[in-house]
């Protein structure tokens, strides 16, 4: 069995999948695969060279080392949004597909049952975060809501390796099960998407507005608010993100 290797990961999940009948679920699964494959082909992301882990209403794509990880953000996200929009125009409401998308990178290892690693776990937690669900539900002009891990954002967006405006990415905190990580949310066509929490720690906008008016701080038992916005950090503990991966998918 080979050891861990560093890979980019892309995950997508269908909005409101469980609310549909099994007949419709089968149709929207087919649409998810078709739209992701089309957007991947248009973005220089070779589907046949990736490993696709099927999760029913979602896919986790393990990207080979030969593919530049930048394409997962630019142009893939915009292409996917456009492809989904075109499908929605021709579909009934029950068959329309909107997707949450998560992008991360990290070490993963093969085993006798497939692939494993904290990077896969973190990608799944980001994809399933309630805050991302809320953003997609509220951002009705888009068909994609993206969440990117902090290390990927710092290495790709901040360093200018993609042609995406860094100000359209907004910091959030993902707390799911044992996971507590910083990430960034972006929705195509939105300078600031609807449905975002008011601050990085996930405080609802309405509560934050009330606290601002009274000067209260819920984290301080309702006392005066002390301090300001969370400082934006950068980089990765222990080194930079790898853009040239060692070892292929097996």
| Phi and psi at residue 214, to the nearest 5° | -100, -15
pLDDT of residue 31: 97
Q: Same structural domain for residues 32 and 155? A: yes
Q: Same structural domain for residues 207 and 91? A: no
Task: Say how far apart CA 16 and CA 128 lie, in whole Å.
Answer: 12
- What CATH number should be reported for the domain holding residue 110? 3.30.70.1230
The residue behind tokens 């909005």 is 15
- Sign, Cα dihedral of 102, 199, 179, 1: positive
Q: Same structural domain for residues 85 and 121? A: yes
Q: Same structural domain for residues 166 and 221? A: no
pLDDT of residue 65: 85
Find the domain containing 128 and state its range.
5-195
Task: Say how far apart CA 69 and CA 240 lie, in whole Å.
Answer: 14
Beta strands 179-186 and 170-176, pairing class: antiparallel
pLDDT of residue 149: 98
Task: Say how far apart CA 68 and CA 130 lie, in whole Å.
Answer: 30
Q: Same structural domain for residues 125 and 182? A: yes
Spacing of C-alpha 56 from chain mean position: 18
Q: What is each CA distance from 95 to 89, 98, 132, in whole angstroms?
A: 11, 10, 21
Q: What is each CA distance from 167 to 80, 113, 153, 232, in whole angstroms?
A: 21, 41, 12, 13
Please give the angle made by the CA atoms of 188, 194 and 197, to the nearest 5 degrees. Answer: 120
Q: Same structural domain for residues 181 and 217? A: no
The residue behind tokens 């790709």 is 156
Spacing of C-alpha 218 from chain mean position: 29
pLDDT per residue as tens, the chain (250 positions): 578 999 999 999 999 999 999 999 999 999 999 999 999 999 999 999 999 999 999 999 999 988 999 999 999 999 999 999 999 888 878 899 999 999 999 999 999 889 999 999 999 999 999 999 999 999 999 999 999 999 999 999 999 999 999 999 999 999 988 889 999 999 999 999 999 988 776 554 443 333 433 344 333 344 333 333 333 333 333 333 333 333 345 4
pLDDT of residue 241: 36
Measure the CA dihedral 198/203/206/208, to 10°: -70
Q: Same structural domain for residues 20 and 62? A: yes
Q: Same structural domain for residues 64 and 164? A: yes
Number of domains into which the chain is organized: 2
Q: From 157, 138, 137, select the one nearest 72 (Cα to Cα).
A: 157
pLDDT of residue 202: 56
Q: Same structural domain for residues 169 and 118? A: yes
In a domain, 246, yes or no: no
């Amino acid at each position: 069995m080979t050891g861990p290797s560093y890979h980019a990961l892309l995950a997508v999940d269908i909005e409101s999948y469980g609310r549909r009948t099994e007949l419709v679920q089968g149709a929207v699964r087919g649409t998810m695969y078709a739209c992701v494959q089309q957007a991947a082909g248009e973005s220089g992301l070779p589907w046949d060279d990736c490993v696709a882990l099927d999760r029913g209403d979602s896919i986790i794509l393990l990207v080979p080392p030969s593919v530049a990880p930048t394409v997962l953000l630019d142009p893939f996200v915009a292409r996917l949004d456009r492809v989904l929009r075109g499908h929605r125009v021709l579909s009934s409401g029950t068959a329309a597909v909107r997707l949450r998308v998560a992008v991360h990178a990290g070490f993963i290892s093969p085993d006798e049952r497939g692939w494993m690693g904290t990077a896969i776990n973190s990608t799944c937690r980001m994809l399933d975060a309630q805050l991302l669900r809320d953003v997609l539900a509220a951002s009705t002009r888009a068909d994609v809501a993206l969440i990117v891990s902090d290390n990927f954002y710092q290495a790709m967006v901040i360093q200018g390796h993609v042609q995406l405006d860094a100000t359209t990415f907004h910091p959030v905190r993902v707390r799911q099960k044992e996971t507590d990580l910083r990430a960034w949310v972006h929705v195509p066509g939105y300078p600031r998407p609807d449905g975002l929490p008011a601050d990085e720690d996930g405080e609802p906008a309405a509560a934050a507005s009330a606290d601002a008016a009274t000067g209260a701080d819920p984290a301080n038992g309702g006392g005066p608010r002390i301090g300001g916005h969370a400082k934006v950090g950068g980089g990765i503990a222990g080194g930079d993100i790898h853009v040239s991966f060692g070892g292929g998918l097996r």
